[in-house]
Amino acid sequence: MASENLERRAPNPRHMISATLSKQRLELAARLCRKFRLDIATFPEAPGVIESLYERGRFREILLAFRHVGIFGPYSDAHLLERLAHSGNAVAILKATAKDGREVPRPVVLDALRSRVDQLLRKGALVRAARVCRRHGVRPDTLPGVNEAVEVAVQRGQAQIVLSAFYEAGAFGTHTVDELLRLLSKSNMPAAFLKNAYRFGVRVGFEPEIDAAIQWHRDRGMKDADAWQQKFERLIGLPAAPPALSEARATSVVRLQPVYPSLKGTAPPLPEASRGVDSDPYILSQVSRAKLEKATTEHQRALSVLERCLSNEGLTLSNSKLIDLLGEGDGWIGIFEVKSITPDNERDQVRHAVSQLFEYRFLHQLPSADLFVVFSGEPFSGWLVDYLRQLGIGVIWINAERIDGPDAIRATRRIRGVPMPAKQSPLSAD
Protein backbone atom coordinates (compact mmCIF):
# COMPACT_ATOMS: atom_id res chain seq x y z
CA MET A 1 0.00 0.00 0.00
CA ALA A 2 2.82 2.38 0.91
CA SER A 3 4.60 1.67 -2.38
CA GLU A 4 1.38 2.42 -4.31
CA ASN A 5 1.09 5.79 -2.51
CA LEU A 6 4.72 6.63 -3.35
CA GLU A 7 4.17 5.78 -7.01
CA ARG A 8 1.05 7.93 -7.02
CA ARG A 9 2.99 10.88 -5.54
CA ALA A 10 6.02 10.57 -7.83
CA PRO A 11 6.12 13.52 -10.26
CA ASN A 12 5.45 12.79 -13.89
CA PRO A 13 8.39 14.09 -15.97
CA ARG A 14 6.15 15.23 -18.82
CA HIS A 15 3.90 17.16 -16.44
CA MET A 16 6.98 18.72 -14.81
CA ILE A 17 8.40 19.83 -18.16
CA SER A 18 5.04 21.15 -19.36
CA ALA A 19 4.74 23.23 -16.19
CA THR A 20 8.27 24.55 -16.72
CA LEU A 21 7.46 25.54 -20.30
CA SER A 22 4.31 27.30 -19.16
CA LYS A 23 6.59 29.56 -17.08
CA GLN A 24 8.66 30.39 -20.20
CA ARG A 25 11.75 28.64 -18.75
CA LEU A 26 12.98 27.04 -21.94
CA GLU A 27 16.54 26.23 -20.84
CA LEU A 28 15.40 24.42 -17.69
CA ALA A 29 12.83 22.48 -19.71
CA ALA A 30 15.55 21.45 -22.18
CA ARG A 31 17.76 20.33 -19.32
CA LEU A 32 14.94 18.22 -17.88
CA CYS A 33 14.29 16.68 -21.30
CA ARG A 34 17.91 15.64 -21.50
CA LYS A 35 17.78 14.19 -17.98
CA PHE A 36 14.62 12.14 -18.63
CA ARG A 37 15.56 11.39 -22.28
CA LEU A 38 12.47 13.05 -23.71
CA ASP A 39 12.15 14.91 -27.02
CA ILE A 40 11.31 18.53 -26.34
CA ALA A 41 9.78 18.83 -29.82
CA THR A 42 6.95 16.52 -28.67
CA PHE A 43 5.72 19.13 -26.18
CA PRO A 44 3.01 21.34 -27.75
CA GLU A 45 4.05 24.30 -25.56
CA ALA A 46 7.62 24.44 -26.92
CA PRO A 47 6.99 26.32 -30.23
CA GLY A 48 5.00 29.03 -28.48
CA VAL A 49 7.72 29.50 -25.85
CA ILE A 50 10.39 29.83 -28.55
CA GLU A 51 8.35 32.43 -30.42
CA SER A 52 7.71 34.37 -27.23
CA LEU A 53 11.40 34.43 -26.30
CA TYR A 54 12.38 35.33 -29.86
CA GLU A 55 9.97 38.29 -29.96
CA ARG A 56 11.34 39.55 -26.63
CA GLY A 57 14.93 39.32 -27.85
CA ARG A 58 15.97 36.55 -25.45
CA PHE A 59 18.07 34.80 -28.04
CA ARG A 60 20.67 33.52 -25.60
CA GLU A 61 18.12 31.50 -23.66
CA ILE A 62 17.09 29.70 -26.86
CA LEU A 63 20.76 29.04 -27.65
CA LEU A 64 21.29 27.61 -24.15
CA ALA A 65 18.36 25.26 -24.70
CA PHE A 66 19.99 24.15 -27.96
CA ARG A 67 23.14 23.28 -26.05
CA HIS A 68 21.22 20.78 -23.92
CA VAL A 69 19.02 19.02 -26.49
CA GLY A 70 20.21 20.15 -29.91
CA ILE A 71 18.53 22.49 -32.37
CA PHE A 72 14.76 22.40 -32.51
CA GLY A 73 12.10 24.82 -33.69
CA PRO A 74 12.10 27.16 -36.69
CA TYR A 75 15.34 29.07 -35.95
CA SER A 76 18.87 27.92 -36.67
CA ASP A 77 21.83 28.34 -34.35
CA ALA A 78 23.59 30.72 -36.77
CA HIS A 79 20.49 32.90 -37.16
CA LEU A 80 20.05 33.27 -33.40
CA LEU A 81 23.73 34.15 -32.96
CA GLU A 82 23.40 36.82 -35.63
CA ARG A 83 20.31 38.26 -33.96
CA LEU A 84 22.06 38.20 -30.60
CA ALA A 85 25.06 40.05 -32.03
CA HIS A 86 22.75 42.82 -33.34
CA SER A 87 20.50 42.93 -30.29
CA GLY A 88 22.56 45.46 -28.35
CA ASN A 89 22.12 43.35 -25.19
CA ALA A 90 25.65 43.74 -23.83
CA VAL A 91 25.24 41.33 -20.92
CA ALA A 92 23.81 38.55 -23.10
CA ILE A 93 26.50 38.99 -25.76
CA LEU A 94 29.33 38.87 -23.20
CA LYS A 95 27.88 35.85 -21.42
CA ALA A 96 27.43 34.04 -24.72
CA THR A 97 31.14 34.42 -25.45
CA ALA A 98 32.69 34.03 -21.97
CA LYS A 99 30.36 31.45 -20.41
CA ASP A 100 28.72 29.64 -23.32
CA GLY A 101 31.76 29.50 -25.61
CA ARG A 102 29.88 30.99 -28.58
CA GLU A 103 31.80 32.63 -31.41
CA VAL A 104 30.58 36.20 -31.71
CA PRO A 105 32.48 38.63 -33.99
CA ARG A 106 35.19 40.39 -32.03
CA PRO A 107 34.06 43.95 -32.92
CA VAL A 108 30.60 43.10 -31.57
CA VAL A 109 32.14 41.76 -28.35
CA LEU A 110 34.26 44.89 -27.91
CA ASP A 111 31.24 47.15 -28.42
CA ALA A 112 29.29 45.13 -25.86
CA LEU A 113 32.26 45.25 -23.50
CA ARG A 114 32.50 49.04 -23.73
CA SER A 115 28.78 49.33 -23.07
CA ARG A 116 28.85 46.95 -20.11
CA VAL A 117 31.91 48.54 -18.51
CA ASP A 118 30.26 51.96 -18.85
CA GLN A 119 27.14 50.61 -17.10
CA LEU A 120 29.21 49.16 -14.26
CA LEU A 121 31.32 52.29 -13.80
CA ARG A 122 28.17 54.40 -13.55
CA LYS A 123 27.18 52.16 -10.62
CA GLY A 124 30.64 52.53 -9.06
CA ALA A 125 31.42 48.83 -9.66
CA LEU A 126 35.08 49.17 -10.65
CA VAL A 127 36.02 45.65 -9.52
CA ARG A 128 33.23 44.05 -11.55
CA ALA A 129 34.27 46.11 -14.58
CA ALA A 130 37.85 44.85 -14.23
CA ARG A 131 36.60 41.27 -13.94
CA VAL A 132 34.56 41.59 -17.14
CA CYS A 133 37.59 42.99 -18.96
CA ARG A 134 39.77 40.11 -17.76
CA ARG A 135 37.27 37.53 -19.01
CA HIS A 136 37.47 39.00 -22.48
CA GLY A 137 41.22 39.58 -22.60
CA VAL A 138 41.07 43.39 -22.64
CA ARG A 139 43.14 45.74 -20.45
CA PRO A 140 40.68 47.84 -18.44
CA ASP A 141 42.58 51.09 -19.00
CA THR A 142 42.08 50.81 -22.76
CA LEU A 143 38.36 51.43 -22.29
CA PRO A 144 36.88 54.90 -21.74
CA GLY A 145 36.11 55.91 -18.19
CA VAL A 146 38.22 53.32 -16.37
CA ASN A 147 41.21 55.55 -15.56
CA GLU A 148 38.87 58.28 -14.40
CA ALA A 149 37.07 55.82 -12.11
CA VAL A 150 40.42 54.75 -10.62
CA GLU A 151 41.37 58.37 -9.91
CA VAL A 152 38.01 59.02 -8.23
CA ALA A 153 38.45 55.96 -6.02
CA VAL A 154 41.97 57.01 -5.01
CA GLN A 155 40.87 60.56 -4.21
CA ARG A 156 38.07 59.18 -2.03
CA GLY A 157 40.54 57.06 -0.07
CA GLN A 158 39.29 53.79 -1.59
CA ALA A 159 42.67 52.31 -2.45
CA GLN A 160 41.43 48.85 -1.47
CA ILE A 161 38.87 48.95 -4.30
CA VAL A 162 41.54 49.76 -6.86
CA LEU A 163 43.74 46.98 -5.47
CA SER A 164 40.86 44.53 -5.78
CA ALA A 165 40.47 45.61 -9.41
CA PHE A 166 44.21 45.04 -9.92
CA TYR A 167 43.85 41.59 -8.39
CA GLU A 168 41.11 40.76 -10.89
CA ALA A 169 42.73 42.09 -14.05
CA GLY A 170 46.36 42.92 -13.26
CA ALA A 171 47.81 46.37 -12.60
CA PHE A 172 46.68 49.07 -15.01
CA GLY A 173 46.66 52.84 -15.19
CA THR A 174 49.14 55.20 -13.57
CA HIS A 175 49.10 53.87 -9.99
CA THR A 176 51.28 51.02 -8.72
CA VAL A 177 50.50 48.32 -6.16
CA ASP A 178 53.13 49.67 -3.76
CA GLU A 179 51.74 53.20 -4.01
CA LEU A 180 48.19 52.03 -3.27
CA LEU A 181 49.35 49.83 -0.39
CA ARG A 182 51.14 52.81 1.09
CA LEU A 183 47.91 54.83 0.93
CA LEU A 184 45.96 51.95 2.42
CA SER A 185 48.40 51.56 5.32
CA LYS A 186 47.73 55.21 6.29
CA SER A 187 43.93 54.93 6.09
CA ASN A 188 43.38 53.15 9.44
CA MET A 189 42.23 49.96 7.69
CA PRO A 190 44.75 47.37 8.97
CA ALA A 191 42.66 44.34 8.01
CA ALA A 192 42.30 45.53 4.40
CA PHE A 193 46.00 46.42 4.28
CA LEU A 194 47.11 42.95 5.45
CA LYS A 195 44.75 41.21 3.04
CA ASN A 196 46.02 43.14 0.02
CA ALA A 197 49.68 43.08 1.03
CA TYR A 198 49.57 39.31 1.38
CA ARG A 199 47.66 38.51 -1.79
CA PHE A 200 50.03 40.69 -3.81
CA GLY A 201 53.03 39.10 -2.08
CA VAL A 202 54.41 42.44 -0.90
CA ARG A 203 57.06 42.10 1.77
CA VAL A 204 60.22 44.21 1.25
CA GLY A 205 59.84 47.83 2.34
CA PHE A 206 56.56 47.28 4.20
CA GLU A 207 57.84 45.46 7.30
CA PRO A 208 56.95 48.26 9.79
CA GLU A 209 53.44 48.70 8.38
CA ILE A 210 52.85 44.93 8.41
CA ASP A 211 54.05 44.61 12.02
CA ALA A 212 51.86 47.53 13.10
CA ALA A 213 48.78 46.08 11.42
CA ILE A 214 49.35 42.66 13.02
CA GLN A 215 49.88 44.30 16.42
CA TRP A 216 46.58 46.15 15.92
CA HIS A 217 44.83 42.79 15.60
CA ARG A 218 46.70 41.38 18.61
CA ASP A 219 45.87 44.36 20.84
CA ARG A 220 42.18 43.74 20.20
CA GLY A 221 42.42 40.05 20.97
CA MET A 222 41.67 38.95 17.43
CA LYS A 223 42.44 35.30 16.80
CA ASP A 224 43.84 35.86 13.32
CA ALA A 225 46.81 37.93 14.55
CA ASP A 226 49.07 34.87 14.89
CA ALA A 227 47.92 33.53 11.52
CA TRP A 228 48.84 36.80 9.81
CA GLN A 229 52.19 36.75 11.62
CA GLN A 230 53.02 33.30 10.29
CA LYS A 231 51.93 34.15 6.76
CA PHE A 232 54.08 37.26 6.54
CA GLU A 233 57.08 35.61 8.18
CA ARG A 234 57.06 33.20 5.25
CA LEU A 235 56.60 35.99 2.71
CA ILE A 236 59.35 38.15 4.25
CA GLY A 237 61.67 35.15 4.02
CA LEU A 238 61.34 35.01 0.24
CA PRO A 239 64.24 36.18 -1.93
CA ALA A 240 64.00 39.52 -3.68
CA ALA A 241 62.86 39.58 -7.28
CA PRO A 242 65.70 38.71 -9.68
CA PRO A 243 66.63 40.96 -12.58
CA ALA A 244 64.44 40.70 -15.65
CA LEU A 245 65.52 38.14 -18.20
CA SER A 246 67.11 39.73 -21.25
CA GLU A 247 65.81 37.11 -23.67
CA ALA A 248 63.54 34.10 -23.73
CA ARG A 249 65.18 30.87 -22.61
CA ALA A 250 65.02 27.67 -24.60
CA THR A 251 62.38 25.42 -23.08
CA SER A 252 63.90 22.30 -21.50
CA VAL A 253 61.80 19.66 -19.75
CA VAL A 254 63.31 16.77 -17.76
CA ARG A 255 61.52 13.43 -17.26
CA LEU A 256 60.69 12.47 -13.66
CA GLN A 257 59.98 9.24 -11.80
CA PRO A 258 57.80 9.02 -8.66
CA VAL A 259 59.28 8.23 -5.28
CA TYR A 260 57.04 5.72 -3.48
CA PRO A 261 57.15 6.46 0.28
CA SER A 262 57.39 3.56 2.73
CA LEU A 263 54.86 3.32 5.55
CA LYS A 264 57.67 2.37 7.98
CA GLY A 265 61.07 3.95 8.04
CA THR A 266 62.80 0.61 8.63
CA ALA A 267 61.06 -1.29 5.85
CA PRO A 268 63.38 -2.55 3.09
CA PRO A 269 63.07 -0.85 -0.29
CA LEU A 270 60.63 -2.39 -2.72
CA PRO A 271 62.03 -4.30 -5.70
CA GLU A 272 62.43 -2.08 -8.70
CA ALA A 273 59.93 -4.08 -10.75
CA SER A 274 57.23 -3.91 -8.08
CA ARG A 275 57.44 -0.18 -7.46
CA GLY A 276 57.54 0.94 -11.08
CA VAL A 277 54.72 3.09 -12.41
CA ASP A 278 53.63 0.45 -14.89
CA SER A 279 53.05 -2.16 -12.14
CA ASP A 280 50.25 -0.23 -10.43
CA PRO A 281 46.85 -0.88 -12.11
CA TYR A 282 45.39 2.40 -10.88
CA ILE A 283 48.40 4.39 -12.01
CA LEU A 284 48.28 2.53 -15.31
CA SER A 285 44.70 3.65 -15.87
CA GLN A 286 45.69 7.21 -15.03
CA VAL A 287 48.56 6.98 -17.52
CA SER A 288 46.04 5.98 -20.19
CA ARG A 289 43.86 8.93 -19.25
CA ALA A 290 46.86 11.24 -19.34
CA LYS A 291 47.89 9.97 -22.79
CA LEU A 292 44.39 10.56 -24.11
CA GLU A 293 44.37 14.05 -22.62
CA LYS A 294 47.77 14.92 -24.04
CA ALA A 295 46.68 13.77 -27.47
CA THR A 296 44.20 16.61 -27.76
CA THR A 297 45.25 19.71 -29.63
CA GLU A 298 43.94 22.12 -26.99
CA HIS A 299 45.85 20.36 -24.23
CA GLN A 300 49.10 20.42 -26.19
CA ARG A 301 48.65 24.07 -27.10
CA ALA A 302 48.03 25.03 -23.47
CA LEU A 303 51.00 22.99 -22.28
CA SER A 304 53.31 24.59 -24.85
CA VAL A 305 52.31 28.10 -23.79
CA LEU A 306 52.76 27.18 -20.12
CA GLU A 307 56.20 25.66 -20.73
CA ARG A 308 57.36 28.73 -22.63
CA CYS A 309 56.08 31.20 -20.02
CA LEU A 310 57.59 29.32 -17.06
CA SER A 311 60.87 28.73 -18.87
CA ASN A 312 61.14 32.44 -19.64
CA GLU A 313 60.77 33.09 -15.91
CA GLY A 314 63.87 31.00 -15.27
CA LEU A 315 62.19 27.94 -13.77
CA THR A 316 63.65 24.46 -14.24
CA LEU A 317 60.93 22.33 -15.83
CA SER A 318 60.29 18.61 -15.46
CA ASN A 319 57.53 16.13 -16.24
CA SER A 320 56.63 12.45 -15.92
CA LYS A 321 54.13 9.95 -17.29
CA LEU A 322 51.51 11.59 -15.07
CA ILE A 323 52.68 15.10 -14.21
CA ASP A 324 52.17 17.58 -17.03
CA LEU A 325 54.74 20.02 -15.68
CA LEU A 326 56.76 20.63 -12.52
CA GLY A 327 58.59 23.92 -12.07
CA GLU A 328 61.47 24.57 -9.66
CA GLY A 329 63.38 27.71 -8.78
CA ASP A 330 64.85 29.44 -5.70
CA GLY A 331 63.69 26.63 -3.42
CA TRP A 332 60.10 26.84 -4.71
CA ILE A 333 58.29 23.96 -6.45
CA GLY A 334 54.99 24.04 -8.31
CA ILE A 335 53.05 21.15 -9.85
CA PHE A 336 50.93 22.06 -12.87
CA GLU A 337 48.07 19.95 -14.26
CA VAL A 338 46.79 21.09 -17.66
CA LYS A 339 43.13 20.53 -18.57
CA SER A 340 41.37 21.32 -21.83
CA ILE A 341 37.79 22.32 -21.08
CA THR A 342 34.43 22.79 -22.76
CA PRO A 343 31.10 23.85 -21.22
CA ASP A 344 30.13 20.18 -20.94
CA ASN A 345 33.29 18.66 -19.46
CA GLU A 346 34.77 21.33 -17.19
CA ARG A 347 33.31 19.93 -13.96
CA ASP A 348 34.65 16.44 -14.66
CA GLN A 349 38.01 17.91 -15.60
CA VAL A 350 38.18 19.81 -12.32
CA ARG A 351 37.39 16.64 -10.35
CA HIS A 352 40.15 14.75 -12.15
CA ALA A 353 42.64 17.59 -11.65
CA VAL A 354 42.01 17.80 -7.89
CA SER A 355 42.59 14.10 -7.27
CA GLN A 356 45.58 13.98 -9.62
CA LEU A 357 47.39 16.94 -8.09
CA PHE A 358 47.15 15.70 -4.51
CA GLU A 359 48.20 12.21 -5.62
CA TYR A 360 51.21 13.49 -7.55
CA ARG A 361 52.36 15.61 -4.61
CA PHE A 362 52.19 12.54 -2.36
CA LEU A 363 53.94 10.14 -4.75
CA HIS A 364 56.81 12.56 -5.33
CA GLN A 365 57.13 13.39 -1.62
CA LEU A 366 56.68 17.12 -2.13
CA PRO A 367 54.36 18.13 0.73
CA SER A 368 55.13 21.84 0.36
CA ALA A 369 54.76 22.05 -3.42
CA ASP A 370 52.21 24.55 -4.72
CA LEU A 371 49.48 23.00 -6.87
CA PHE A 372 48.03 24.59 -10.01
CA VAL A 373 45.30 23.70 -12.48
CA VAL A 374 45.97 25.23 -15.90
CA PHE A 375 42.87 25.44 -18.11
CA SER A 376 42.99 25.75 -21.89
CA GLY A 377 40.79 28.84 -21.53
CA GLU A 378 38.91 30.74 -18.85
CA PRO A 379 36.47 28.43 -17.00
CA PHE A 380 32.84 28.78 -18.03
CA SER A 381 31.60 28.43 -14.43
CA GLY A 382 33.13 31.01 -12.11
CA TRP A 383 32.37 29.03 -8.95
CA LEU A 384 34.87 26.35 -10.01
CA VAL A 385 37.66 28.92 -9.67
CA ASP A 386 36.54 29.74 -6.11
CA TYR A 387 36.21 26.03 -5.30
CA LEU A 388 39.75 25.21 -6.41
CA ARG A 389 41.29 28.17 -4.64
CA GLN A 390 39.45 27.24 -1.43
CA LEU A 391 41.20 23.85 -1.66
CA GLY A 392 44.54 25.64 -1.91
CA ILE A 393 44.94 24.92 -5.64
CA GLY A 394 46.00 27.81 -7.85
CA VAL A 395 43.99 28.58 -10.99
CA ILE A 396 45.59 29.63 -14.27
CA TRP A 397 44.28 29.65 -17.81
CA ILE A 398 45.72 30.29 -21.24
CA ASN A 399 44.88 33.63 -22.84
CA ALA A 400 46.24 33.75 -26.40
CA GLU A 401 50.01 33.21 -25.94
CA ARG A 402 50.29 34.01 -22.24
CA ILE A 403 49.12 32.67 -18.90
CA ASP A 404 46.30 34.46 -17.11
CA GLY A 405 44.02 33.97 -14.14
CA PRO A 406 44.01 34.88 -10.44
CA ASP A 407 47.10 32.79 -9.62
CA ALA A 408 49.20 33.32 -12.73
CA ILE A 409 51.41 35.76 -10.85
CA ARG A 410 52.21 33.11 -8.22
CA ALA A 411 53.88 31.01 -10.91
CA THR A 412 56.36 33.76 -11.78
CA ARG A 413 59.64 34.69 -10.16
CA ARG A 414 58.15 37.92 -8.84
CA ILE A 415 55.72 36.44 -6.32
CA ARG A 416 55.79 32.91 -5.00
CA GLY A 417 54.05 30.80 -2.41
CA VAL A 418 55.77 29.39 0.69
CA PRO A 419 59.32 28.33 -0.24
CA MET A 420 60.37 24.72 0.31
CA PRO A 421 63.30 23.93 2.62
CA ALA A 422 66.64 24.07 0.90
CA LYS A 423 67.31 20.42 0.13
CA GLN A 424 68.00 18.26 -2.84
CA SER A 425 64.90 17.37 -4.86
CA PRO A 426 63.82 13.73 -4.39
CA LEU A 427 63.13 13.45 -8.12
CA SER A 428 65.35 11.51 -10.46
CA ALA A 429 65.43 11.66 -14.22
CA ASP A 430 64.42 8.61 -16.27
Using the predicted structure, report yes or no on whether residue 266 has a pLDDT greater than 70: no
Q: Which residue type occupies 407?
A: D
Residue 254's contacts (CB-CB under 8 Å, 6 or more residues apart) are 316, 317, 318, 319, 429
Model-level pTM?
0.55
H-type alpha helices, 257-345? 281-294, 297-312
H-type alpha helices, 237-280? none
Length of the chain, in residues? 430
- Give pLDDT, residue 251: 55
Q: In 3D, which of 57, 65, 61 has the Cα closest to residue 40?
A: 65
More confident residue, 395 or 274: 395
Residue-range domains of the chain with CATH: 8-87 (no CATH), 119-236 (no CATH), 253-263+271-429 (3.40.1350.10)
- Give pLDDT, residue 272: 39
- Give pLDDT, residue 137: 79
Neighbours of 280 (CB within 10 A): 16
- Give pLDDT, residue 374: 94
Q: In 3D, which of 241, 186, 230 has the Cα closest to residue 208?
A: 186
pLDDT in tens, 355-414: 999 988 888 888 888 999 999 988 887 788 888 988 999 999 998 788 888 888 777 644
- Give pLDDT, residue 161: 94
